[in-house]
Amino acid sequence: MALGAHAPLILINFKTYLEATGKRSVELSRLIENIGKDIGVDVAVAPQFCDIAHVAAQVEIPIFAQHIDPVTPGAATGHVLGDSVKAAGATGTLLNHSERLMLLSNLDRSVKLARELGLVSVVCAGNTDSASAASLLCPDMVAIEPPELIGSGRAVSKEQPGVVTESVKAIRRVNQSIKILCGAGVSSGDDVYAALKLGAQGVLVASALVKSAHPVEVIKDFCNGARRFQEDPR
């Protein structure tokens, strides 16, 4: 399934949680895909590298790698090759997550490599200045994620709404076409709705869903929050 140009996107990062490792990554991806289709919201997943091919064989939703290194095929032992994640079935990649920060020069090269390979690039940014700088690299998406709120259960869209609105303004001053995501602490459909109301076009989520004892209810809640915005975007 292609990423919608305008529809809100819910991108779920599996990180390295055991709840989304191996067979569980496939099961969770199927669940996310089915609920997204039922409610009519764009969803995507970012499994671990070893799970990309297994997930891609079972679902049609977009799959993101969690990172690619700024290397080309050849002598780069231990690096994550963009060509490799694409061959495994990824359609995009996260870059510069707070748990995998990159030097600006390396980030620039990875964004360019992703573009050359036809991979959708999502650059994570921890504050407004970083979001503005990231937009200069012309990735496909920028995800605003204050690191202190990641995994906290306290959504940036409610705790620090000004960071979202100011980042949206800063990005738009540089680039009008970048899709803007909002992450860090997003835990409910209300959080998703609040992020979209602040000008984001989607959310990047992780532990609230992946580590939940009731993932079906959580992804339904997320999707319903996005759907509510679709039906009443004012």
Measured CA to CA, the distance from residue 71 to residue 106 in angstroms comes to: 9
Tokens 């989304």, located at residue: 20
197: left (phi over 0), alpha (psi -120 to 50) or beta: alpha
Q: How far apart are CA 93 and CA 89, in angstroms?
A: 11
Phi–psi pair at 141, nearest 5 degrees: -140, 150
Q: Is the C-alpha dihedral spanning 8, 14, 20, 21 positive or negative?
A: positive
- Choose, from 79, 145, 148, 214, the residue flagged as catalytic: 145
- Residue (of 187, 186, 201, 191) closest to 233 by Cα position: 201
Q: Nearest 5°: phi and psi at 54?
A: -65, -40
- Residue 67 bears catalytic tag: no
Rounded Cα distance, 23 and 197, in Å: 36
- Paired residues of 94 in beta bridges: 122
Please give the helix or strand (H or E) that residue 8 lies within, else none. none
Compute the half-sphere exposure of residue 136: CA atoms within 13 Å on the CB side of its CA: 9
- Is 97 tagged catalytic? yes
Distance of alpha carbon 10 from the chain centroid: 7
- Say which of 33, 67, 97, 166 is annotated catalytic: 97
- What are the two backbone dihedrals, phi and then psi, of residue 156, each rounded to the nearest 5 degrees? -60, -35
**Could you list the active site residues?**
97, 145
